[in-house]
Structure 1
Amino acid sequence: MLHITVAQLNYFVGDIEGNTRKMIEAARRAAVDGADLVVFSELSLTGYYPGDLLEEPGFLRRVDAGLQALKDASRQLPGLHWVVGAPVRRDGPGKKLHNALLVVAGGELVTQYAKQLLPTYDVFDEQRHFAAGPDVARVLRIGTTQVGLMICEDGWNDSGEDYLVNPFTRLGDAAPDLVVSINASPSNVGKREQRHQVFGQASTRHRLPLLYVNQVGGQDQIVFDGASFAVEPDRGVTFEAQRFVEDTVTLRFDNGRFLALGGEALPPVAAQGLSTMAFYRAQTVLGLRDYTRRCGFKQVVVGSSGGIDSALTLALAVDALGAGNVEAITMPSSFSSSGSVDDSVTLCNNLGVRLHRHPIAELVTAYARQFEATFGTPLAGLPLENLQARIRGTILMEHSNRFGHMLLTTGNKSELSVGYCTLYGDTNGGLGLLGDLFKTEVFALCRHLNEAAGRELIPVAIIDKPPSAELAPDQKDTDSLPPYPLLDEILKVEIEGGRLATWERAQAEAVVQQLLATPEGPALVARIRGMVARSEYKRRQSPPIIRVRSRAFGSGRQMPIAAFHA
């Protein structure tokens, strides 16, 4: 029998001293529970992912100091084994570091395992810093239990499709009683169920119970949802930690089964997790909350146009930070409808957010007058439209600079995909909350928030009005773009493709095939593809966005700016 504490914690990348304190506190709680083993997540000492901090002078010395602090603390908790993730030095050709799992007990390093499979795809770039570990299994005896050790990606290749090496097979040959896998698995829609499927199948195939420990929290554009779990060969997933919060839980492992600390059966784990919209909300809120506090901001500001994107951004910001830490600015021009301004007022009243009014008509006129005086030609058309967006962006940045609020940009994935945004205007900001949500999902999430609140947080007038940038008379988004329900399906195929969930890919591909069968369809699809390609330079200069889907702009989709597109 073994008592194991799952330490699902929220680490701050680079804060080795803070991460160390957090781990020591969790280990002390584990000792109170009588645990034999406390398990932290992948690279828990540094936080995931440290990137080129690993190359900074003094960083590895701080790692050494943090590891020594953990060893010293372990002397005070005899009998408790600590499973820790950390970078360690290595000799020989190639990269000079391993992504390692270390077991510490009684002030000593008991054993060490180096990650074999180093992901270099999507948001991962581990081969930039780490060398692959040797093809060996590492098993540690704790009491009467043989514990096999594994790190994240090592467990994702049991099908043998992605790498030549399958660490699960080697570990299975060693025949441990239990496998402990430490992970830093970023969250996206459907990822929880995917983890359960992959590790559940491996557990069944190798007849090995498995404990999967993940981290939680936001780091730049990615969010870790926690959701650590235990899986048994015959019963599937039998335990799951909470999602999107820190959770420290001690389990009993006895005769191949996971039980509650007192020996009673664990509550059943639902096959399906949160609904898609509830997931988007939870992921975005945690991502914003951690991003602001780790970047030193307590408050945010949003430009409120009276449109749906800014309305949803404001609602999510209030959810994450509280109404008192969110401010909005409405900046009507000569093309703004009175309804848009009124809708902004209603929205902010509903949310409890302070709304400032800063008209821009006189500023636009002054810019246009001076432009014509200087260059001898009037400012009209697209340059005049973009001028309004840039004036608004400047006002928002003035507020941010003067009052210290971080500016949230409001663009959605559909707009960012085709470049329906203005550089140095509505792309200004420190973080985008909606940049991985298609426009149709923006509408759905607004309705979800209203349903969850049981009242009209976001006015129905905002949800129902035709989308418009209001930069020209009677302007509508559909003047330049196909309807969003059609555009989004094209974009899903173009941008995410095989990374889509099976049902979503089938739906999107069916819509595109039907469109291609029409006389105007091929030209429209080609035009959208061209817009996506030509807008890469805009996305490269835009703020980071919170990733919620399987392929997000940023590190998840790395495309050249200057490239030939057939």
Structure 2
Amino acid sequence: MLKIAIAQLNPTVGDIDGNSGAIIAAMQRAAGQGADLAVFTELALCGYYPGDLLEEAAFLDRMQAGLQRVLEASRGLPGLVSVVGAVRANDGPGKPLFNALLAIRDGVIVAEYYKQLLPTYGVFDDRRHFEPGPEGACVLQVGDHRIGFLICEDGWNHEGRDYKVNPFTALREARPDLVVSINASPSDIGKRELRHKLFRTASVHNELPILYVNQVGGQDQLVYDGASFAVSPSQGIAFEAQRFSEDFQGIGFTQGRFSAADGFALPAPGADGLPVAEFARRQIVLGLQDYARRCGFSKVVVGSSGGIDSALTLALAVDALGPENVIAVTMPSAFSSEGSVSDSVALCRNLGITLFTHPILDLVKQYGIGFEGAFDRPLQGLPLENLQARVRGTILMAYSNASGTLLLTTGNKSEISVGYCTLYGDTNGGLGLIGDLYKTEVYALSRHVNQRAGRELIPDAVLTKPPSAELAPGQQDTDSLPEYEVLDEILKWHIEGRRLPAAEAALAEQFVAGLLADANGAALVKRIHGMVARNEYKRRQAPPIIRVRSRAFGSGRQLPIAAHY
């Protein structure tokens, strides 16, 4: 039996010393458990994705030094084959680097495979820095088993639709006993199920068992969920590692089937994934934890308006960092309702966090006096509304600077889409937690947070009050926008379209088709599309948001600002 150690780690981009140390520790653990093969993830040595760090000579030098440490450690672990993702130089024509898989045994690289399919869609830009590897299979003998290799995207073209090259073709001809695929596959709604379906089909079609090892952790906007798995033609999905946490698992493989490390049957993984709300919670919590940690923050601050968006942001921040590391600030103005403050007080009491009060009435009034004196016109209407948001944003940034806390923005995807936010105001901050959740999903996740806690963390008054920016007398969101149940379906179809999960796409398409059948509905769809286009400049200047869906604002959606739509 081939004994395999699956090292589902959380590498940090650029931390070669830390990553190589974690790899060596896992190698030693694998050897101590008698493993024949230890499998790590794509670019595990430098973290995925390093971007233009790959153009810096010092970074590549550190990468090579880290690899040497791994090779040296391997000399003390006789017989163990460690499969590690790293960067290798390309001495031939094309881009100067390869995205490489290195099989290391007794301090020597005994097999070297280069990623053949380099994605440039969505959040990926591998072709910017890497040259595609040569066509053909790479197979290594490990004990009595022949092991073939893939790197992430190489396994996603088994039907041959997206690339001219299909690495499975060469593997099928080489007939290894097992295919090992190392990955850095970011998570979004439905991604786990998509991976299982695709690789189950590939396994059956090519008659090849596949071990899929994926990294875990948050990196900027992206979150990697781990969920490494094993699939064989006879067993289907035979094994799955933990989601949203590091994991080290030992499994066995013999005669085309996976087993527990002791040879007994593996527990069958659950066919169903997480409910959408729970998935979103875990995705956002892990994303914030790693973003704060990697950027050197231990505490966060949030402007608390008494509304649903800031309430959910605060609840998720407490979930991620603990109540002692979350600060809220309420900043009432002349137009703030009584509930703006009282609901914030109740929320923060429920969450166990500190709430500061910083009224802005006098500041806004003084701005108005200065504005009229300088420009001979009163400050009123939309400029006055936006000023209030900008004063609040300035106060929050001042507190962030003074206290060393990370300011979290509170905008949701519905409002960010149509520009229902103030540049240099409520868009201030270092990270947005709910910017990839539509407003209807904000409510759904808020209810889930309460249900999961078994008590009212987010007060019912916050959940039931009509949403409002409270920047003008009696203002409500529906003064400027359609009901969110309508707006969100239009936005889903316009922004994500076929990228939505099938059932969700069908509902959105049917809903929008109904609107387009009516003149008023068609005019509304056109107006919303125009609002999305006109506000690209705001999104370009906004902080990063944690990606939950397959198409989030940020690196995965690139549209021009100065364009005619």
TM-score (normalizing by structure 1): 0.99
2:423 equivalent to 1:423? yes
* Structure 2 equivalent of residue 216 of structure 1: 216
* Structure 1 equivalent of residue 364 of structure 2: 364
2:284 equivalent to 1:289? no
* Structure 2 equivalent of residue 187 of structure 1: 187
* Structure 2 equivalent of residue 468 of structure 1: 468
Q: 1:541-560 residue pairs with structure 2 within 5 A?
A: 541-560=541-560
Q: 1:390-448 deviations in whole A, cap 9, x for unaligned?
A: 00000000100001011000000001100000000000000000110000000000000
* Structure 2 equivalent of residue 230 of structure 1: 230
AA of the residue aligned to 1:151? I
1-side partners of 2:14 and 2:540: how far apart?
25
Deviation at 1:521, TM superposition (A): 1.1
Q: 1:7-46 residue pairs with structure 2 within 5 A?
A: 7-46=7-46
2:239 equivalent to 1:239? yes
Q: 1:394-473 residue pairs with structure 2 within 5 A?
A: 394-473=394-473
AA of the residue aligned to 1:229? F
Query: Does the residue aligned with 1:64 lie in a helix, a strand or coil?
Result: helix
* Structure 2 equivalent of residue 68 of structure 1: 68
Deviation at 1:522, TM superposition (A): 1.3
Q: 1:337-356 residue pairs with structure 2 within 5 A?
A: 337-356=337-356
* Structure 2 equivalent of residue 529 of structure 1: 529
* Structure 2 equivalent of residue 488 of structure 1: 488
Q: 1:87-486 residue pairs with structure 2 within 5 A?
A: 87-486=87-486
Output the aligned Cα RMSD. 0.6
Deviation at 1:496, TM superposition (A): 0.3
2:73 equivalent to 1:85? no
Deviation at 1:40, TM superposition (A): 0.2
Query: Does the residue aligned with 1:511 lie in a helix, a strand or coil?
Result: helix
2-side partners of 1:517 and 1:180: how far apart?
51
AA of the residue aligned to 1:309? D
1-side partners of 2:447 and 2:352: how far apart?
19
2-side partners of 1:456 and 1:243: how far apart?
27
2-side partners of 1:230 and 1:383: how far apart?
57
Q: 1:214-270 deviations in whole A, cap 9, x for unaligned?
A: 000000000000000000102210100000000000111111111111111110111
Query: Does the residue aligned with 1:77 lie in a helix, a strand or coil?
Result: coil
Deviation at 1:384, TM superposition (A): 0.2
1-side partners of 2:214 and 2:439: how far apart?
31
Aligned-pair identity (%): 67
2-side partners of 1:373 and 1:230: how far apart?
71
1-side partners of 2:47 and 2:358: how far apart?
42
* Structure 2 equivalent of residue 509 of structure 1: 509
1-side partners of 2:268 and 2:252: how far apart?
16
AA of the residue aligned to 1:48? Y
Query: Does the residue aligned with 2:57 lie in a helix, a strand or coil?
Result: coil
Q: 1:121-168 deviations in whole A, cap 9, x for unaligned?
A: 000000000000011100000011000111000000011111111001
C-alpha contact (below 8 Å) 2:234/2:257 kept by paired residues: no
Deviation at 1:517, TM superposition (A): 1.4
AA of the residue aligned to 1:379? L
2-side partners of 1:364 and 1:39: how far apart?
59
Query: Does the residue aligned with 1:319 lie in a helix, a strand or coil?
Result: helix
Query: Does the residue aligned with 1:495 lie in a helix, a strand or coil?
Result: helix
C-alpha contact (below 8 Å) 2:46/2:86 kept by paired residues: yes
1-side partners of 2:260 and 2:144: how far apart?
19
Deviation at 1:93, TM superposition (A): 1.7
Worse-matched range after superposition: 257-266 or 386-395? 257-266
Q: 1:167-219 deviations in whole A, cap 9, x for unaligned?
A: 01111110000000000000001000000000000000011111000000000
Deviation at 1:92, TM superposition (A): 1.9
AA of the residue aligned to 1:3? K
Deviation at 1:59, TM superposition (A): 1.0
Which runs of structure 1 show a deviation greater than 3 angstroms over 4 or more consecutive aligned residues?
none
Deviation at 1:454, TM superposition (A): 0.6
AA of the residue aligned to 1:467? P
Query: Does the residue aligned with 1:504 lie in a helix, a strand or coil?
Result: helix
2-side partners of 1:59 and 1:453: how far apart?
45
TM-score (normalizing by structure 2): 1.00
Q: 1:493-546 deviations in whole A, cap 9, x for unaligned?
A: 110011011100110011111111123111111110000000000000000000
Deviation at 1:104, TM superposition (A): 0.6
Query: Does the residue aligned with 2:386 lie in a helix, a strand or coil?
Result: helix
AA of the residue aligned to 1:337? S
Query: Does the residue aligned with 1:373 lie in a helix, a strand or coil?
Result: helix
2-side partners of 1:427 and 1:83: how far apart?
43
AA of the residue aligned to 2:563? A
AA of the residue aligned to 1:149? F
2-side partners of 1:3 and 1:121: how far apart?
36
C-alpha contact (below 8 Å) 2:392/2:425 kept by paired residues: yes
**Structure 2: 5+ residue runs without aligned partners?**
none
2-side partners of 1:32 and 1:461: how far apart?
56
Deviation at 1:15, TM superposition (A): 0.4
Q: 1:272-306 deviations in whole A, cap 9, x for unaligned?
A: 11110000000000000000010010000000000
AA of the residue aligned to 1:147? I
2-side partners of 1:383 and 1:461: how far apart?
30
Q: 1:351-390 deviations in whole A, cap 9, x for unaligned?
A: 0010000000011100001101111000110000000000
Q: 1:453-486 deviations in whole A, cap 9, x for unaligned?
A: 1100100110111100000000000000000000
2-side partners of 1:195 and 1:316: how far apart?
27
2-side partners of 1:103 and 1:91: how far apart?
20
Q: How many residues align?
A: 565
AA of the residue aligned to 1:38? A
2-side partners of 1:275 and 1:34: how far apart?
37
2-side partners of 1:67 and 1:297: how far apart?
30
AA of the residue aligned to 2:64? D
2-side partners of 1:288 and 1:363: how far apart?
32
* Structure 1 equivalent of residue 538 of structure 2: 538
1-side partners of 2:338 and 2:525: how far apart?
36
